Amino acid sequence: MSAVASATQPSSEIEQRPASLSTYTRNYAARVRGGDMGSLPAVLGLIVLCLGFGIARPVFFSTINFANLFTQAAAITAIAMGLVFVLLLGEIDLSAGFASGVCAAVLAVLLTKHHAPWYVAILAALVTGVVIGVLIGFLVTKVGIPSFVVTLAGFLAFQGVLLLLVESGKNIPVTDPAIMAINATGKLPPAVGWALLVVAVAGFTAAQLVRRRNRAGRGLAADPLSVVAVRVGTLAVIGGAAVYVLNLERSINPIAASVRGVPVIVLILGLIAVLWTFVLNRTAYGRHVYAVGGNREAARRAGINVDRIRISVFVIGSTMAAVGGIIAASRANSVDPNTGGSTVLLYAVGAAVIGGTSLFGGKGRIVDAVLGGAVMAVIENGMGLMGVDAGIKYAFTGGVLLLAAGVDALSRRRAAAAGLR
């Protein structure tokens, strides 16, 4: 195909990227050495942690535990996806944890005390998230208070709002079947799981091939077929294995109650991840988010409304916190004063950073939040199986977060030296 590319545009002075699998591998290796590691540390960490916990506690690899990992990771991953937007601008949202708690409480109060239908309650929770985001964004952008301070104040204030909503320490049960289906009871029938995987792989393949044909048709360097095949193959193999395992019977007593199928939350988070990835990579808005994160002055001179972009990322951050809150409420079947509290925020920030999103702004992807959320869930889950102290668990998680931030800072320095950033 590279022959076509050079034949249609022979006069081009710009070197067309040589297209072969080996060149791709070499380029990737060069990028990693240069400090642009992408998701490599998270993937390696995930493998090491899984093997370690699996060897120490073989039950880690049981089908029921595998399904648990998804439900455990879900809320933190959702919040982390929103934080990726905030971190891309080099800002921080420390209030995301309790914002998710407040939104969950709104959901629970409407459902349980006002008997609102589940979709009204979900909408109200999401709107609450939007309002919180607009408020934070306004204070940071228009008033000019640093986001660290605004969201630190929010951290405390939202904790108070949450306490008021759940009336000091009571626990509001959430028993609505639709809400419970989100991240507790909902399983896709095995056939549907397979069908969705086929649709996903086919869609991905089609997207890749169309993109490739468009580029080649206009004489631009296109990805070689071998690279496309590797990408599609990787998705199919990993997705296939996951669906297979999740479709196995994981009930302790299968005769009484059969538990099998892909948890609904996997589908929900998958769709959200695809949506945000599309927004960041394929729309002008996403491009402008990266631009403002990379060089605010350049973005301003290019005619981008920087303030609007800055407010919008806080809105997305808080709205995804609301999604995280709904997921958490579903999993716990209740909302209490600690929903979204304790480690939730730090785990979410940690997930984004471990996945490879930079705290310095300008660099980050949605898949970072997914991978980082998986790492966090594996640590939480594995440590739980080992039966270690909460103290050790926190210390270990803190260490992992510090390690990730250190990798970020060091790779940044290295990239600066190699001229990659």
Partner 1 sequence: MTATPLLEVRGINKSFGPVQVLRDVDFAIYPGEVTALVGDNGAGKSTLVKCLSGIHPIDSGEYYFDGNPVTVHSPRDAASLGVEIVYQDLALCDNLDVVQNMFLGRERRNGIVLDEVTMEQLASETLTSLSVRTVTSVRQLVASLSGGQRQTVAIAKAVLWNSKVVILDEPTAALGVAQTANVLELLRRLADTGHAVVLISHNMNDVFAVSDRIAAMYLGRMAAQVKATDVTHAQVVELITAGRSGELGLAPSGTESVNGVES
Query: Which residues lie near partner 1 (CB under 8 A)?
Result: 9, 11-15, 17, 214-215, 218-220, 282-284, 287-288, 290-291, 293-295, 297-299, 301-304, 362-363, 415, 418-421
- For the CB of residue 134, give the shortest distance to partner 1 in the complex, in Å: 22
Q: What is the largest CA-CA distance in the chain?
A: 73
DSSP class of residue 213 equals H
- For the CB of residue 9, give the shortest distance to partner 1 in the complex, in Å: 8
Q: How far apart are CA 62 and CA 253, in angstroms?
A: 15
- For the CB of residue 294, give the shortest distance to partner 1 in the complex, in Å: 4
Q: How far apart are CA 169 and CA 174, in angstroms?
A: 16
Q: What's CA 343's distance to the chain center, in Å?
A: 17
Half-sphere exposure (Cβ direction) of 193: Cα atoms closer than 13 Å: 22
Residue number with CB closer to partner 1 (149 or 417): 417
Residue number with CB closer to partner 1 (231 or 287): 287
Contacts with 318 (C-beta within 8 Å, 6 or more apart), sequence order: 82, 93, 95, 96, 99, 129, 130, 132, 133, 136
First-residue to last-residue Cα distance in the chain: 31
Residue number with CB closer to partner 1 (84 or 182): 84
- For the CB of residue 421, give the shortest distance to partner 1 in the complex, in Å: 5
CA separation (Å) from 77 to 169, 270, 329?
27, 11, 15
Residue number with CB closer to partner 1 (310 or 331): 310
- For the CB of residue 352, give the shortest distance to partner 1 in the complex, in Å: 16
387: left (phi over 0), alpha (psi -120 to 50) or beta: left
Q: How far apart are CA 277 and CA 56, in angstroms?
A: 36
Residue number with CB closer to partner 1 (33 or 282): 282
- For the CB of residue 119, give the shortest distance to partner 1 in the complex, in Å: 26
DSSP class of residue 114 equals S
Residue number with CB closer to partner 1 (15 or 119): 15
- For the CB of residue 24, give the shortest distance to partner 1 in the complex, in Å: 13
Retrieve residue 90's tokens.
Answer: 């080099």
Residue number with CB closer to partner 1 (117 or 278): 278
